[in-house]
Structure 1
Amino acid sequence: MRVVMFGYQTWGHRTLQALLDSEHDVVMVLTHPKSEHAYEKIWSDSVADLAEEHGVPVVIRNRPDDEELFARLKEADPDIIVANNWRTYIPSRIFDLPRHGTLNVHDSLLPKYAGFSPLIWALINGESEVGVTAHMMDDELDAGDIVLQRSVPVGPTDTATDLFHKTVDLIGPVTVGALARIAAGESDFTRQDRSQASFFHKRAEEDIRIDWSWPADVLERLVRAQSAPYPSAFTFHKGKRLEIVSAVVSQGRYGGTPGRIFYREGEGVAVVAGADARTGRNHGLAITRVRTEEGREMPALEYFTAMGGYLTSRP
């Protein structure tokens, strides 16, 4: 089939590579200009560079809504558009233009975690598996019929970085496998159960600020979800920002006020957590490594020279 690809960052790069390695003919590529957004500088393999290396025409747009682009798409005469990590709205006159419509590849197990940063949100929420879904595009965000879906388990110590590497390897097989079904004339795809749908926004500074009223197990997953090269989860100690590089749920139960720096436990320092910490029934978050405001990373036992005092959400 003649394919036009819409994509950006490493997700789009992997999709384009899979298409170039397949039997299909990539006739045009659309991608976004480079961004300085913190999350868009991560996993930023260039779709444009890969296309140009293979002699594929490249169009760069923030939004695909101008008449010149529409004319070029009509001239390209695609059988299908394949999109992955396209960051802005694609109008219906474009996604309906190809003979077989538009296939979107999304890094979640739809209908859950539509929208942005699905792996990070899924890890924070304690999901047991994550994956990649190829679905037909329609007017609603990430809501079209599912053509192919593959999953991988989330391990007890997996970070968001681990899950990225697990799921990015699914992009090629899912994309090519979905196209094979479409090329074979299949159309009886799986409708999404919209009652199970959830939608998530882009990650921002506020989303990595630690709230000590959260349970320790959720905070531990937040720390894993903000693994390098993502920005680390942070708190404040004595008015200065302190990044939490690694942590585990404490073995002991610690009562009192959330955020209290309480007790040295093993290789970490236990901090009281949970909205009902006053009951003494909660485990704490045992911080094992930190990074100071000056950028110095060290073991928590080295940083916290004395117990007592509080970690806070604000200076």
Structure 2
Amino acid sequence: MRIVMFGYQTWGHRTLLALLESGHDVVMAVTHPRSEHAYERIWSDSVAGLAGEHGIPVLIRDRPDDEELFARLKDADPDIIVANNWRTWIPPHVYGLPRHGTLNVHDSLLPKYAGFSPLIWALVNGETEVGVTAHLMDEELDAGDIVLQRAVPVGPTDTATDLFHRTVDLIAPVTTGALDLIASGQTAFTRQDRSLASFFHKRSPEDSRIDWNWPAEDLERLVRAQSAPYPSAFTFHRGRRLEILSSVVSRGRYGGTPGRVFYREGDGVVIVAGADARTGRNHGLAITRVRTEDGRELGATEYFTSMGGYLTGRP
């Protein structure tokens, strides 16, 4: 099939690589300009660079809604558009142009976690599996019929980085498998159950700020979800920003006020957590490693030289 590829960052790069190795004819690539957004500097393999290496014409756009792009698409005469990590709305006259429409590849188990940063949100929320979905694009974002979907489990110590590496390896088989089904003439695919749908916004620094009213179990997952190279989860201690690099849920139960620097437990320092911490029924978050404002990384027992005081959401 003749394919136009829309994509960005490593997700788009892996998709284009899979298409190049699939035997299909990639006739054009459309990608975004490089961004300085914190989350878009991560996993930033270049779609434009890979396309250029293979002599594929490249268009760079923030949005795919101008007349020149549409004219170039019509001239390319694609059988299908394949998109992955395209960051803006694709209008119907574009996604509906090819004979087989547009196949979007998304790194979640749709209909859950449509939108942005699905792996991070899924890990924070304690999902037991994540994955990749190839679906046909329609007028609602990430809502079209599912052509192919694959899942991988989430382990008890997995970070978002672990899940990225595990799911990015699904892109090639999901993309090429879905194209094989479409090329075979199959047209009846799985409708999404919209009652199960959820849509998430882009991550920002505010989403990494620790709220000590959360249960310790949720905070421990937040720390794992904000693993390097993502911006770390953070709090404030004595008015200064403190990044939490690793933590575990405490063995013991600790009562008091959320955010209290309370007790040394093993290699960690326990912080009281949970909106109902006053009851004494909650586990705390045992911080094990931190990074200070000046960039020093320390074990928590080295950083917290005495107990007492509070970690807070603001300076």
TM-score range, shorter chain: over 0.9
User: Matched residues, percent identical?
Assistant: 82
TM-score with structure 2 setting the length: 1.00
Aligned to 1:225: 225
Rounded to whole Å, the distance in 1 between the matches of 2:159 and 2:116 is 17
After the TM superposition, which parts of structure 1 deviate over 4 Å for at least 4 consecutive aligned residues? Answer: none
Tell me the alpha carbon deviations over residues 114-161 of structure 1, each in whole angstroms, 9 at most, x when there is no partner. Answer: 000000000000000000000000000100000000000000000000
Tell me the alpha carbon deviations over residues 248-278 of structure 1, each in whole angstroms, 9 at most, x when there is no partner. Answer: 0000000000000000000000000000000
Compute the displacement of 1:19 (Å). 0.0
Aligned to 2:126: 126
Matches of residues 117-266 of structure 1 in structure 2 within 5 Å? 117-266=117-266
Aligned to 1:10: 10
Matches of residues 297-312 of structure 1 in structure 2 within 5 Å? 297-312=297-312
Aligned to 1:106: 106
Rounded to whole Å, the distance in 1 between the matches of 2:12 and 2:176 is 14
Rounded to whole Å, the distance in 2 between the matches of 1:169 and 1:284 is 35
Rounded to whole Å, the distance in 2 between the matches of 1:103 and 1:263 is 53
Tell me the alpha carbon deviations over residues 250-308 of structure 1, each in whole angstroms, 9 at most, x when there is no partner. Answer: 00000000000000000000000000000000000000000001110010000000000
The one-letter code of the counterpart of 1:114 is A
The one-letter code of the counterpart of 1:4 is V
Note if 1:287 corresponds to 2:294. Answer: no
The one-letter code of the counterpart of 1:33 is P
Compute the displacement of 1:188 (Å). 1.1
Tell me the alpha carbon deviations over residues 2-45 of structure 1, each in whole angstroms, 9 at most, x when there is no partner. Answer: 00000000000000000000020000000000000000000000
Rounded to whole Å, the distance in 1 between the matches of 2:99 and 2:70 is 15
Rounded to whole Å, the distance in 1 between the matches of 2:71 and 2:309 is 64
Tell me the alpha carbon deviations over residues 46-101 of structure 1, each in whole angstroms, 9 at most, x when there is no partner. Answer: 00000000000000000000001100000000000000000001000000000000
Matches of residues 40-119 of structure 1 in structure 2 within 5 Å? 40-119=40-119
The one-letter code of the counterpart of 1:3 is I
Unaligned runs of 5+ in 1: none
Unaligned runs of 5+ in 2: none
SS of aligned partner of 2:38:
coil
TM-score with structure 1 setting the length: 1.00
Rounded to whole Å, the distance in 2 between the matches of 1:116 and 1:131 is 14
Rounded to whole Å, the distance in 2 between the matches of 1:94 and 1:102 is 9
The one-letter code of the counterpart of 2:151 is S
Rounded to whole Å, the distance in 2 between the matches of 1:11 and 1:68 is 26
Rounded to whole Å, the distance in 1 between the matches of 2:240 and 2:265 is 24
Rounded to whole Å, the distance in 1 between the matches of 2:44 and 2:229 is 12
The one-letter code of the counterpart of 1:82 is V
Tell me the alpha carbon deviations over residues 153-204 of structure 1, each in whole angstroms, 9 at most, x when there is no partner. Answer: 0000000000000000000000000000000000110000000000000000
The CA RMSD over aligned residues, in Å, is 0.3
Paired positions, count: 315
Aligned to 2:313: 313
